Every structure is written in structure tokens, then in C-alpha cells.
Chains A and B, each alone.
Chain A
Amino acid sequence: MLKILKYSFYEMIRSRWVFIYTGFYLLATIALLLLSNDLSKVLISMTNITLILTPLIGILFGTIYYYNSKEFIQLLMAQALSRWSIFSGMYAGMVIALCLSILLGIGLPFVFYGIMVSPDLPIFLLLITMGCALSIIFSLIAFLIAMKFDDKVKGLSISIFVWLFFAIVYDGIFLLLLLGLKDYPLDKLTISMLVLNPIDLSRILILMKLDMSAMMGYTGAVLSKFLGKETGIIVVSTSLLFWILLPLWRLFSIGQKKDL
């Protein structure tokens, strides 16, 4: 598995697209840092960019990467290797490369700018962690989709739709639910809807840390109470873990049976 991981990782970091991806983050972060002297404002802008981009790139990259390495996977299948180690090795190599581009692209400019000694350090760490978590989750979903559908066009369009659903449609349904049920107490619904979508969860975690909670009035108070408590932390990490473990288990079970 480690050997496959190494191969796939080297292949990824030699790829032009990973360079472009890293370069984009580098450029965006440096430009924002140069334009604005206020670290927390830059963090807000980077949050907006990261929350849209990491899931999208994660899911597109994952799908394309799987389709492109299909022949390599078929070749590996002919060797005395377990299917589990092939799939997980390929996946791990790719996701490490993606997380590395986030770490370098966003992390390096901030570190040089002196984030390590600024009071915004926890927000920065949260932003990086959430970026990596979203990459892990969405590229995993991408692998699943690509394994399930052999047709490239179908797989890619489903990937895009899944991103669209989590990034936009989900929030629309969320808003409609809130509007429709506004006569009832909504705290529990709000929190559970937030926890169920990794993008929303990341966004709200960062916003709460950015002291936007003051703007959120009563809901903000309920949320910060919930997220501040130990149960809240457990629920948040369980939700993120669930989003990793469930696709991983599906990946495993599909991988065992899949006829390549």
C-alpha cells in the first residue's frame, strides 16, 4: 500500500494541475495579504474562497484522477496485491497531494506574514484544518462516484452535481425549511442541518471563531454554547469522521466486488 501511495503521490505532484491549484492559492493569499493589512479580513476572504474551491477541486480532481489511472489500476490488479491496498494507496497519495497544496498555498504566505505570533492563529489553523478535511471528504466521494460509474461523462456530471448540492442546493433547502417551520422552535433543526453538511459545518465553525457570533443574536448564542461545549466538539468531529468513514467503507465494499 505504501508503495502505491508513493507512486500515486509522485504522479500527482508532477501533475500540472496540482501546481496550478497550489499556485492559485499562493497568488490569492499573497494578493489579499498585500492588499489588506488586516489579517482577520484576509482570513474571512480566504474562508470564502476555500469553502467554495476545496470541495469543488477535491471532487473534480478525484473523479478525473481515478478515470485517468484506471489502466494503471487494472495493471496493478494483475499483480499479487490486495484490492484494498490498491484503492486506498491511490486515494491516499492523491489526497496527501491535495492537502499539501492547501498547506503550502494558504499556509506559507500566512506564516511568512507572521500568523504564528498573531492572535488570529486559531482561526488560521481552523481554516487549514477545514480545507484539508473538505478535500479529504470530497475527493473520497469523488472516488466512490468514479468507481460506481464507468462512464466518464456520467461520473463527472454526477460529481459536479454532488458539489452543487452541498455548496448551494443544500442551503436552499435549509432556508426553505427554516422559512416553512418558522413558527416552531428551530434551534435543534438548525444545528442538525449544519452538522449534516461538511461545507456548512466548516463555514459556521470559522464564522463563530471570527466573532461573527455577536451578529447572530440568539441563534449565535445557542450555537456558541453548543459548539463550545464538549458534546458540541464531539458531535462536530463525529460528523466529520462519519463523512470520512462512511465513504471509506463504501469504497472498500465496492472495491471488493467491482468488476474492472
Chain B
Amino acid sequence: MKVILFFILSFISQSVHASTLDVCSTCTYMDIESAYSKCMVGDTMLIKHGEYKIENWIIDKAIIVKGESGAHLISASGDEIITVTSNDVTIEGLTFSGVTTNYLKENAAIRIRKSRRFLILDNKINDCFFAIYLEKAKQGSVINNLIDGDASSDAASGNGIHAWHCDKLKIINNEILHHRDGIYLEFVNNSDVDKNHSHLNNRYGLHYMFSNDDTYTENVIERNGVGVAVMFSRRITMKNNTFAYNWGHAAYGLLLKEIYDAEIIDNHFIENTVGIFVEGSNRINYLRNEFRRNGWAIKFSGGCDANVIKYNNFLYNSIDLVVSSKLSNNTFNDNYWSEYTGYDLDKDGVGDIPHYPVKLYSYIHQQVPESVVLMRSLFVDIINYAEKVSPVFTPKDVMDKTPKMKQL
């Protein structure tokens, strides 16, 4: 306890004595390097309006780097701009550009290496290979940044926010566009990704790999190659996100692969080719989501067990549900299906006959992908209707026994 108190007190005393060092063409310090060499722990470096050519700036002291409006750091020869190796560093209000593609080093505008409690706030990062690279960093925040890349192909472009082997991160309110992956998290645990807007990225808007116990809420993920990909991760909570307009030959709103114990709650899936593509994922709760006008709302590939699909709205999707193999032990209950044609005689708001969401046509389409050319043909409507009246081919166990009569 005494030790902690000592540290806190010493930190407070430092900040009390902290001074501000201005950097500009008419200030005491004309360039960043000379100002940084005079910086003490806890000091603030205020970079004023102007363009500064700098690269491989290693920050190994706990300082605050602040930019006034128009403070623009340009990588001198395309190498990395800032590498932070100290704890408690803040980088705020700067504009970065000029980091070029390098296939040997993953060059980034800001790299945090093995440090804790960093804060990256209100920066603009334009046309950089990687924008923010967090490497074995912990307890830090990335807030309010605007990250605009110039991704051309998958191989020649980097990620907007790239985190590797991190813990307890907060990535909040950033806008990321034109990168390979908007936000990429690999081996990142206990982290929050909230209120970000990730759009127009080449590959994924948000990408989890081997990451556990993470939460992402209220993000808007639209017009990416694939909206969000969550792979090989456990206990991920996804709430209140919007997955929209991820439309193309291999586009998904949300891609789940080998996911266990996740919660997918209150999300909106709007006009994606495939709303959710699920492969080998168990014990997932899909609750209160809205699926509107997707090509496929949910596509289950093999090996999905013990999933609960409840209280969702399936509205005007071309195909609501596809299951490839026998789905065992999954429950579909209390959803609203705009396709449902049953009746409710006792007026309790629940349809009296069960709804079979897998249509014969989606079953045939699974067998022969070429049959897609018959979509919207009168014949297909007729066989769908016949199958609905008396299911023969479609799985009988995939049904909603208590379909809602009204949208939830």
C-alpha cells in the first residue's frame, strides 16, 4: 500500500512541476528533436502549426505530445514516425502522413511497443501504411482519431488500428476508412471497441483473431469487403452494432469462425449479401437482432451446436436461413419472420402454426449453386409454397414453434 501511495504521490509531484515546451519555426525549439531532448518526464510538448519532417522518433519518456491545429508530422523518407516505448504517453491532436508500404517492416504512423496506459487522442492519420500499431501494449486508449488510408490491394496495404498481444484496450469513437482491415485485433483480451465508424475498407471493417473476453458495441461497419470477422475467439460480446451495405461476391456482414460462448445482441444487419455467416461456432446467443433486406440473413455452415436464435426480426431478406448439415440442438424461438404466413386465432401475438425458415429453394441452391439463376421465377415460388405446406426436403427440426405475429 505504501509503495503504491509513494508512486501516486511522486506522479502527482511530477505533474505539478511539469512544464510545456513549444515547438514551431519562431519558438525556442525549432524542431521536434531538440525539444524532445530537453523534455523531462511529465512535460508537455506543444507542437504548433506547421509541417515537420520527422521519422523514427522514439518516445521513451512519459510525456504528453500535443498538436495545435495544423501541426502536421510527415515521415521524411516513408519510415515510421513515432515509436512509443514508455508508459503513460499521450499523443494528441496531430496530423500524420507519408508512411509508405514496406513489406519487411510493418511501418506505422504511431507504434506503441510494450507500454501501458497510453492515450492516442484526436489525431488525423492520412495515407499511411499502418496507422496505429499496438504491440504488446496494455490498458491504453485510442479515442477520436480519423484514419484515412489509401489501400489498393490486400497485399500492399496495412490496417488502420492494428493490435497484437494486447490487453485491456479501449478503442472508441474512431473513424477508419480505406485500409485493409479497419481495426485488427490479434491475441487481444479484455478490450472494448465502441462507437467506431469503419467503412470502405478493402477487407474487414473489424477483425478479431485469437482474442478472448472482448466487447464491441455501437460500431457502424459499412461498405467494407467483409463487415466484421470474428475468428478463433471466445466470449466475445457484440451489441448494438450496425452492419450495413457489405455487398459483393464474398461479402458478409458478420463472419463467425470457430467462436464459442458469444453474445450477439441488438445488432442491425442491413442489406449485406450475407448477414451472418457462421462456421463451427457453438453456444452463441443471437437475441433481438434485426436482419433487413439481406441476400441471406444467416448462413450456417457445418458444426454449429447449441445456438439460441430468439426475438430477432427477419425482414424481407431474399433467403432467411440456410443450414448445410443437420443442425442439432439449436433453438429458433419467438422470432418475427416477414415471410410467415400463418395465423393467430387466439390473438396472443404468437402464430398458431410453426414457421419453417428454410425454404426448399435455399435447400436446392445449397445443392446446386447454379440454380440461383432461377431466383424470383414463378416456378420457384410455386415449389416453395408447396414445400411450406408440407415439408419433405427441408429440415423439420429447424423451425420456429412460436413465431411472433408483429415485428419486435
Which residues of A183-222 have CB atoms within 8 Å of chain B's CB atoms? 186-187, 190, 194, 200, 203-204, 207, 211-212, 214-221
B247 close to A194 (CB less than 8 A): no
Q: A221 to B372, alpha carbons, bound, how many Å? A: 12
B155: interface (CB < 8 Å) = no
Contact of A171 among B296, B369, B370, B378 (CB under 8 A): B378
Contact partners of B370 in chain A: CB under 8 A? 178, 182, 186-187, 190, 219
Number of chain B residues close to chain A: CB under 8 A? 24
Given the contacts A168-B382, A182-B367, A211-B247, A216 and B372 also touching, CB distance less than 8 Å: yes
Closest residue of B by beta carbon distance from A38? B293
A200 close to B377 (CB less than 8 A): yes
A52: interface (CB < 8 Å) = yes
Contact partners of A212 in chain B: CB under 8 A? 375
Given the contacts A207-B376, A214-B251, A179 and B369 also touching, CB distance less than 8 Å: no
B368 close to A214 (CB less than 8 A): no
Contact of B379 among A172, A207, A219 (CB under 8 A): A172
A204 close to B373 (CB less than 8 A): yes
A219 close to B374 (CB less than 8 A): no
Q: A216 to B370, alpha carbons, bound, how many Å? A: 8
Which residues of B298-345 have CB atoms within 8 Å of chain A's CB atoms? 318
A48: interface (CB < 8 Å) = yes
B357: interface (CB < 8 Å) = no
A102: interface (CB < 8 Å) = no
B273: interface (CB < 8 Å) = yes
B249 close to A179 (CB less than 8 A): no
A252: interface (CB < 8 Å) = no
Closest residue of A by beta carbon distance from B361? A175
Q: A174 to B369, alpha carbons, bound, how many Å? A: 13
Contact of A219 among B364, B367, B372, B380 (CB under 8 A): B372
Min CB distance, B224 to chain A, in Å?
14
Contact partners of A194 in chain B: CB under 8 A? 373
Given the contacts A190-B373, A215-B318, A216-B373, A179 and B368 also touching, CB distance less than 8 Å: yes
Min CB distance, A84 to chain B, in Å?
36
Q: A216 to B319, alpha carbons, bound, how many Å? A: 12
Contact of B247 among A48, A214, A218 (CB under 8 A): A214
A167: interface (CB < 8 Å) = yes
Min CB distance, A15 to chain B, in Å?
27
Q: A47 to B377, alpha carbons, bound, how many Å? A: 11
Q: A204 to B377, alpha carbons, bound, how many Å? A: 10
Given the contacts A214-B249, A220-B249, A220-B372, A171 and B379 also touching, CB distance less than 8 Å: yes
* Further pairs besides A175-B380, A178-B368, A215-B375: 15, Cβ < 8 Å: A167-B379, A171-B374, A171-B377, A171-B378, A171-B379, A175-B364, A175-B371, A175-B374, A182-B367, A187-B370, A207-B376, A214-B249, A215-B296, A219-B373, A220-B372
Closest 6 CB pairs of A and B: A171-B379, A215-B295, A186-B370, A216-B372, A182-B368, A171-B377
Query: What residues make up the interface of B, taking CB atoms closer than 8 Å to A?
Result: 247-249, 251, 273, 295-296, 318, 364, 367-380, 382
